[in-house]
Amino acid sequence: MKQKFEAIIKYIISGGNGDELFAKINIPCEFRTEEDENASVARNLNAAFLVLLSGESHSLYNDALHYMENFGSHPSWEKTVCFYNEGIRLISSEISNRCYDSRAFEKELNDLYLWVDRGGGEEAVEKLRRVFFPEGVLLNEDRENSIRELRKKRKIDITSLNPSAITNPAKEILFSSNILVTVPSASKGIEGLPVSLSLKKMLEEVVKEDQIYWYDHPVPVGVPPGNNEVLYGLEGLDRAVGFEKERGTISREDRVICVLSVSVTHKGLQGIVKEYIEDELKKEKNIRHLEVYVFTEADTVRMIEDVIIPAAGRYSGAKEYGPVYEVIGVDGEYGRHYSFLKAVSAFWQVLVDPQIRGTFKIDLDQVFPQKELVAESGASAFEHLMTPLWGAEGVDSDGNDVELGMIAGALVNQKGIDKGLFTPDVCFPEGGTEADEIIFFSKLPQALSTEAEMMTRYTGDEYDGKESCIHRIHVTGGTNGITINALRKHRPFTPTFIGRAEDQAYILSVLFEGGR
């Protein structure tokens, strides 16, 4: 079957014999070995990988092989070449093993090969997905049934609710979020920024540095308040707390603690970003119900040296602390700050406030739609956090014991809130299929899990939130939390090399543990 698989890949990457669907996929045209800039080398290596995956019958096979071999010993590219070569080996092995294990898959692959051999034509998307993305075929055929089946798979039968659920989120939950900060844009300049003279002088030196970290939407120092995501998010949380006070959920004297980790793009920002954030918060008059604590990389280093290392030396006898500096911190890949914002709650409980029993992370570009929550779900944001489901125990559809030590919310887009609270932020796509959506179209399973998990209402006999609930697998970086008991018991973390999907990666460390 190896040759048949190679013929299929060759068909896809060579423009599909003129099929309009594949017009944007013409990998041989991307293989331009005369270009040697870094971006060109990366593109050429990717093209060479796909050509090699097409087998020796491809006219560019030998050229691709030599290109890979030449860069296999290059200090900047040897790991990339190794990755691609290992990928070719693993893909070939996986296809062979899958054909051996499943006659049905072998038949689908053979049918696809015969279709390609005849020149392709109609039903290209379905033909290819039956081999490479069968879930996509099922979702297009019967979405409602797919939603029902996934809900059955995610169903938890509750064996015991949490007998000591959260009763005062303002006192028992440490709220947290992350801020991404960068230097002012070159077009804006530094002179006209609404910051102190001392900050301006330091910024003039920082902008000369090389950027060491990249984030998707960092806040530039000196951005106008109306465009400042930090202020937007904190004002939104403050309004939500004010709503809870008016509703009587918490006392009017309560102040909610919010821990902010600050990740920066330039090393020099580490020494000035805290002063900048504090100055911005002092100017803000609409934040009245929060106590905000800011942690920079420098603060986490102090925490390591003043608290963690002395404690480790006293209680564990540890002698080597190098890895501690790598793991605990807020700069760099998203995995670092994500794990820190969870773990800091356990330190907070011991060193600052023993009443803290859990933590809940928000994203600062999101706010709680309190009026809609109450109108459509019967409970405010804080009242949802008081559910005895958080910390409950149950059994999943496979008979595994489950501890519901984490909690996750759902999102609704601002433009969709007028349609109702239960409006999915990821909808099933309509219309035609683009070339990059043929093999795997991530929006389809995302839309499925959004409908199946986040749109479930605990109003019926099947899912009532007392004897049964939905096990959340699909979560976002914000709107999720963990009890400190679960944190200490299972000790989950996101590896420090994880740059995205840090929320999903958080449970990988405990996914295959025995027991609950």
Instruction: Supply the pLDDT for residue 104.
Output: 93
CB atoms within 10 A of CB 338: 24
Residue 52's pLDDT band, with cuts at 50, 70 and 90, is very high
Residue 234's pLDDT band, with cuts at 50, 70 and 90, is very high
Compute the average pLDDT of residues 364-369: 86
Compute the average pLDDT of residues 488-499: 87
Whether 88 shows a pLDDT value over 80: the answer reads: yes
Compute the average pLDDT of residues 372-390: 94
Compute the average pLDDT of residues 374-388: 94
Q: What one-letter code names the amino acid at 223?
A: V
Residue 176's pLDDT band, with cuts at 50, 70 and 90, is very high
Instruction: Supply the pLDDT for residue 282.
Output: 85
Whether 514 shows a pLDDT value over 80: the answer reads: no
What is the C-alpha separation between 238 and 221, in angstroms, rounded? 23
Instruction: Supply the pLDDT for residue 371.
Output: 92
Compute the average pLDDT of residues 372-392: 94
Cβ neighbours for 149, distance < 8 A, ≥ 6 positions apart: none
Q: Identify the CA nearest to 220 among candidates 177, 261, 190.
A: 190
Query: How confident is the model over 235-247, as pLDDT tens digits?
Result: 999 999 999 999 9
Minimum mean pLDDT among 5-14, 126-135, 419-428, 477-486: which range? 419-428
Whether 303 shows a pLDDT value over 70: the answer reads: yes
Instruction: Supply the pLDDT for residue 108.
Output: 93
Instruction: Supply the pLDDT for residue 161.
Output: 96
Beta strands 219-220 and 406-408, pairing class: unpaired
What is the C-alpha separation between 15 and 497, in angstroms, rounded? 36
Query: How confident is the model over 495-505, as pLDDT tens digits?
Result: 888 877 787 77
Specify whether the CB–CB gap between 330 and 340 falls below 8 A. yes
Whether 321 shows a pLDDT value over 90: the answer reads: no
Whether 100 shows a pLDDT value over 60: the answer reads: yes
Could you write out the three-class secondary structure of 17-79? HHCHHHCCCEHHHHCCCCCCCHHHHHHHHHHHHHHHHCCCCCCCHHHHHHHHHHHCCCCCCHH
What is the C-alpha separation between 2 and 20, in angstroms, rounded? 27
Whether 20 shows a pLDDT value over 70: the answer reads: no
What is the C-alpha separation between 221 and 193, in angstroms, rounded? 8
Whether 284 shows a pLDDT value over 90: the answer reads: no
| pTM of the predicted structure, to 2 decimals | 0.85
Whether 443 shows a pLDDT value over 60: the answer reads: yes
Instruction: Supply the pLDDT for residue 455.
Output: 86
Residue 281's pLDDT band, with cuts at 50, 70 and 90, is confident
For the chain, give the mean pLDDT.
89
Q: Is residue 451 classed exposed, middle or buried when 0-12, 13-18 and 19+ CB atoms within 10 A define those classes?
A: buried
Whether 230 shows a pLDDT value over 60: the answer reads: yes
Whether 516 shows a pLDDT value over 70: the answer reads: no
Whether 280 shows a pLDDT value over 90: the answer reads: no
Instruction: Supply the pLDDT for residue 367.
Output: 87
Instruction: Supply the pLDDT for residue 21.
Output: 64
Minimum mean pLDDT among 287-301, 327-341, 347-361, 463-477: which range? 463-477
Compute the average pLDDT of residues 143-165: 93
Higher pLDDT, 119 or 252: 252
Q: Is residue 354 classed exposed, middle or buried when 0-12, 13-18 and 19+ CB atoms within 10 A define those classes?
A: exposed
Residue 475's pLDDT band, with cuts at 50, 70 and 90, is confident
DSSP state of 273: H
Compute the average pLDDT of residues 77-102: 95
Whether 470 shows a pLDDT value over 70: the answer reads: yes
User: Among the ranges 200-214, 344-358, 455-469, which has the highest mean pLDDT value?
Assistant: 344-358
Whether 249 shows a pLDDT value over 90: the answer reads: yes
Compute the average pLDDT of residues 447-461: 86
Residue 153's pLDDT band, with cuts at 50, 70 and 90, is very high
Residue 258's pLDDT band, with cuts at 50, 70 and 90, is very high
Minimum mean pLDDT among 44-48, 99-103, 282-286, 364-368: which range? 282-286
What is the C-alpha separation between 48 and 101, in angstroms, rounded? 30
DSSP state of 429: P
Compute the average pLDDT of residues 14-33: 76
Instruction: Supply the pLDDT for residue 169.
Output: 97
Higher pLDDT, 293 or 137: 293
